[in-house]
Amino acid sequence: MKQKKRTHKQQIFLAARIFLWFTLGALIGLFFFVSFLVISYRQMYQNRVYPGVFLDGVDFGGKSETDVRSFFDNKNMSFADTKLIFTYSDQTAVTTAKELELGFDSQLLTDQAYSIGRSQSFVSDIYMITKAYMRGIHLPASYRYDEGVFEKLITPFQKNLDIAPVNAEFSYENGRVTEFHTHSDGRKVDIEKLKSTLSSYSIMLARAKSHPKALTVTIPIITVQPVLTLEKVNDLGIKELIGEGTSLFHGSIANRIYNLTLASSRLNGALVKPGETFSFAESVGDITSLTGYKQAYVIENGRTVLGDGGGVCQVSTTLFRAALNAGLPIVERNQHAYRVHYYEEDSPPGIDAAVYVPSVDLKFKNDTGHWLLIQSFVDKQAERLTFQIYGTSDGREVKVSTPVILSQTPAPEPLYQDDPTLPAGVVKQVDWAAAGAKVSFTRDVIKDGKVTIHDTFNSNYRPWQAIYLRGTKV
């Protein structure tokens, strides 16, 4: 029988099949050939970095892991003794680059170099090995420091320097603030900035040709804001300190300290509404034994005698100073009869305010357009009285001149007075000699570049003798 002749299409199909089988066989052969080469190449560089792998510009092809790690360890040893001095104010901690393990991260660099061409993907490995051989693979340097050593070093600074912010508190009833303290910012060591500084020092030391003996690291501090500021916890416009006054009561007897503490507590928390004229006498009330005051030395008819409320004038004087510094209009102020030494311990003469409730008063006006809050503080250890006035600043500036003594009159001879409350033979000084003086000072309150208040405060003090009490108690 005669064989049928193939059609043209059949011939093309057969040729294609033969070509595909041939190509597939060639590819399989090539694959096995390349695989053989790669396996041989891997065997040749077993436990060694493949050729063409660079670290920080250095060719480590053919080097072992130990070689790579030793190279960077030796680099680190060149500056191992460099001191790192961490400091803030008078607090200092010292370590070395070696203790902090500062410098090249030799282990990471070794792992990176050795891992090229050694992944879980055979195809990827072929690509990376070929790329390294043909064009080179360049890896940047890596740097480090020991986090544990760093944390141990910084913890004492954090304990001494970190301060939590304080939220403001404000509550009031019947026109008087019952709970108050202003907000205050906190602070903490800026760890991120400190780490950034260490990283930059690590790079600098690793790349430098010569190394310093010591590097100083100043501990960076950041401010931490409170959640609640004074402005957020009230709607009276009381948000900031606008004036403060202080005075010292060194040497005061116990009853005098008691009285000034009592009087200042009765002013603490007082609110002054916009446009109101504040009266010391009205706010403090009666000053007698019936209202809680004790006997202390007061001036009466030119003599120092025991009387109810001795020491209250220290309170009015201190509040007067706060109102002065706040730039508030002074409606009424009266001088003392003579220069009281308490009021000149931290101040020049002339900045005082006498009160004799109810006839002699201290008054000032709230012209700020917002409520004012008066706060008082008695520091018995420092023997200091402080008044603070809070409100809203309108930008006014206050300039108080230094008091000028215009003339002086010598003090009289000392006066001795019998005191039946002191044991016989005991002599106690209760007043100190003071020269008489005419004193004057001025105050300018400036707003928007213009003087809105110009005051002149004159005082004409009588000369005063030292007074001693002689005990007569048997």
- Please tell me the least confidently modeled range out of 67-71, 135-139, 366-370, 418-422: 418-422
Query: Which residues are CB-neighbours of 143 under 8 A, at least 6 positions away?
Result: 103, 104, 105, 199, 202, 203, 206
What span, in angstroms and rounded, lies between the C-alpha atoms of 143 and 72?
Answer: 10
Interval 179-218: pLDDT, tens: 898 899 999 999 999 999 999 999 999 999 899 999 999 9
What tokens were used for 251?
């040497």
Q: Mean of the pLDDT values across residues 371-389?
A: 96
pLDDT: is 327 or 294 the higher one? 327
pTM: 0.67
Mapping DSSP to helix (H, G, I), strand (E, B) and coil, where does residue 115 land? helix
Q: Mean of the pLDDT values across residues 211-234?
A: 93
Q: How many other C-beta atoms lie within 10 A of the C-beta of residue 95?
A: 18
Query: Has residue 237 got a pLDDT over 80?
Result: yes
Q: Per-residue confidence at 457, pLDDT binned at 50, 70, 90?
A: very high
Query: Which residues are CB-neighbours of 103 under 8 A, at least 6 positions away?
Result: 72, 75, 76, 79, 97, 143, 144, 202, 205, 206
Kind plus residue range of the DSSP H or E element containing 375: strand 372-379
Query: Has residue 1 got a pLDDT over 50?
Result: no
Interval 30-71: pLDDT, tens: 666 666 666 777 788 888 999 999 999 999 999 999 999 999
Q: Per-residue confidence at 434, pLDDT binned at 50, 70, 90?
A: confident
Per-domain boundaries in the chain: 235-473
What span, in angstroms and rounded, lies between the C-alpha atoms of 268 and 197?
Answer: 48
For position 112, what pLDDT does the model report? 94
